[in-house]
């Protein structure tokens, strides 16, 4: 898989995940996490979003620079960075608070020109750019969107813009997950994945149906596992990987992401108030 040639731009949210019970914080956010994991998987990866000027914003920027991301599209805005408060109960992450800080932004014509040169553009429901999706989809070669656990009305409104759609449905049985994936595919995306937490994931790629179980690991923190799955999925989609091998690889990669705290490391002491 010649992933080094893949150009990915992740657009939207970044956040600092605060773990008050542990006294630490980590950089994260769906768009950031996907960009970092895609880079670790060999892609040329860029992040387009807005950082604050506080300690949290500086942490995110330092982590992305250390990971080798292209930050030429990054905005730094005076004010607080987005944060989320996280508690881990039996390995499962629970969000208990937070604020969006300076995270909202508008894409410029220059931004859209840059997106047009990427192989894949990724964004999602946490990025708060739904009203800009038509413009992004019109320029992107392939748009990926993370719907997480949003209701059907939201999915139906925005899935037609996406080439790759990812949904999370940990309570569904495999048959129900396949039915959901096919229903979303019929809205327009050519590739649809539904992650089911410890039950694994299903993938519908055109007429191919594929499933993979989760890989057994010692679960420490599930935060960011879905984003790791998305990154591996997108690298494989852009490379033309076989759907059966791809869903197995993406599920395995996501499982391994559960073995440590935070979305991708870069721990810092928690010093500031939310």
Q: Tokens 């944060």, residue? A: 83
User: What pLDDT was estimated at residue 72?
Assistant: 97
User: What pLDDT was estimated at residue 159?
Assistant: 99
| Secondary element (H or E) of residue 152 | helix 152-158
Is the pLDDT at 224 greater than 80, yes or no?
yes
User: What pLDDT was estimated at residue 91?
Assistant: 63
* Arithmetic mean of pLDDT, 162-177: 95
For 64-68, 174-178, 267-271, which range has the lowest pLDDT when averaged over its residues?
A: 267-271
**Residue-range domain boundaries for the chain:** 3-269
**Which residues are registered as beta bridge partners of 47?**
10
For 98-102, 111-115, 135-139, which range has the lowest pLDDT when averaged over its residues?
A: 98-102
CB 43 within 8 A of CB 235: yes
State percent of the chain over pLDDT 70. 96
pLDDT tier at 95, thresholds 50, 70, 90 = confident
pLDDT in tens, 236-270: 999 999 999 999 999 999 999 988 888 998 999 99
pLDDT in tens, 191-205: 999 999 999 999 999
**Phi, psi at 63, each rounded to 5°:** -65, -45
State percent of the chain over pLDDT 90. 82
Give the Cα-Cα-Cα angle 48, 233, 181 (nearest 5 degrees).
105
Is the pLDDT at 32 greater than 90, yes or no?
yes
pTM (two decimals):
0.94
pLDDT tier at 153, thresholds 50, 70, 90 = very high
| Secondary element (H or E) of residue 135 | helix 133-139
CB 67 within 8 A of CB 40: yes
Q: What is residue 82's DSSP assignment? A: P
pLDDT tier at 219, thresholds 50, 70, 90 = confident
CB 168 within 8 A of CB 226: yes
CA-to-CA distance for 236 and 134, rounded, in angstroms? 25
CA-to-CA distance for 36 and 147, rounded, in angstroms? 19
* Arithmetic mean of pLDDT, 94-98: 79
User: What pLDDT was estimated at residue 261?
Assistant: 87
CATH tag for 3-269 (out of 3.40.50.150, 3.50.50.60, 2.40.10.10, 3.40.1190.20): 3.40.1190.20
DSSP symbols for 83-101 = EEEEEEETTEEEEEEEE-T
């Amino acid at each position: 898989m010649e992933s080094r040639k893949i150009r990915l731009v992740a657009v939207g949210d970044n956040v600092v995940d605060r773990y008050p019970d542990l006294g630490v914080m980590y950089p994260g956010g769906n768009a950031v996490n996907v960009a970092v994991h895609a880079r670790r998987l060999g892609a040329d990866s860029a992040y387009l979003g807005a950082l604050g000027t506080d300690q949290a914003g500086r942490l995110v920027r330092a982590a992305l620079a250390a990971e080798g991301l292209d930050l030429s599209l990054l905005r730094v805005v005076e004010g607080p960075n987005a944060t989320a408060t996280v508690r881990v109960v039996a390995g499962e992450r629970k969000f208990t608070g937070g604020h969006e800080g300076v995270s909202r932004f508008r894409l410029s014509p220059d931004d859209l020109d840059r997106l047009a040169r990427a192989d894949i553009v990724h964004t999602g429901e946490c990025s708060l750019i739904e009203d800009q999706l038509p413009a992004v989809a019109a320029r992107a070669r392939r748009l990926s969107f993370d719907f997480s656990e949003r209701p059907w009305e939201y999915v139906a409104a925005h899935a037609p813009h996406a080439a790759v759609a990812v949904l999370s449905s940990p309570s569904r049985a495999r048959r129900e997950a396949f039915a959901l994936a096919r229903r979303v595919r019929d809205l327009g995306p050519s590739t649809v994945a539904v992650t089911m937490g410890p039950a694994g994931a299903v993938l519908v790629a055109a007429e191919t149906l594929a499933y993979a179980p989760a890989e057994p690991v010692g679960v420490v923190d599930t935060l960011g596992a879905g984003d790791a799955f998305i990154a591996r999925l997108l690298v494989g989609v852009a490379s033309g990987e076989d759907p059966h091998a791809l869903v197995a690889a993406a599920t395995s990669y996501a499982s391994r992401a559960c073995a440590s705290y935070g979305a991708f490391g870069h721990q810092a002491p928690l010093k500031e108030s939310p």
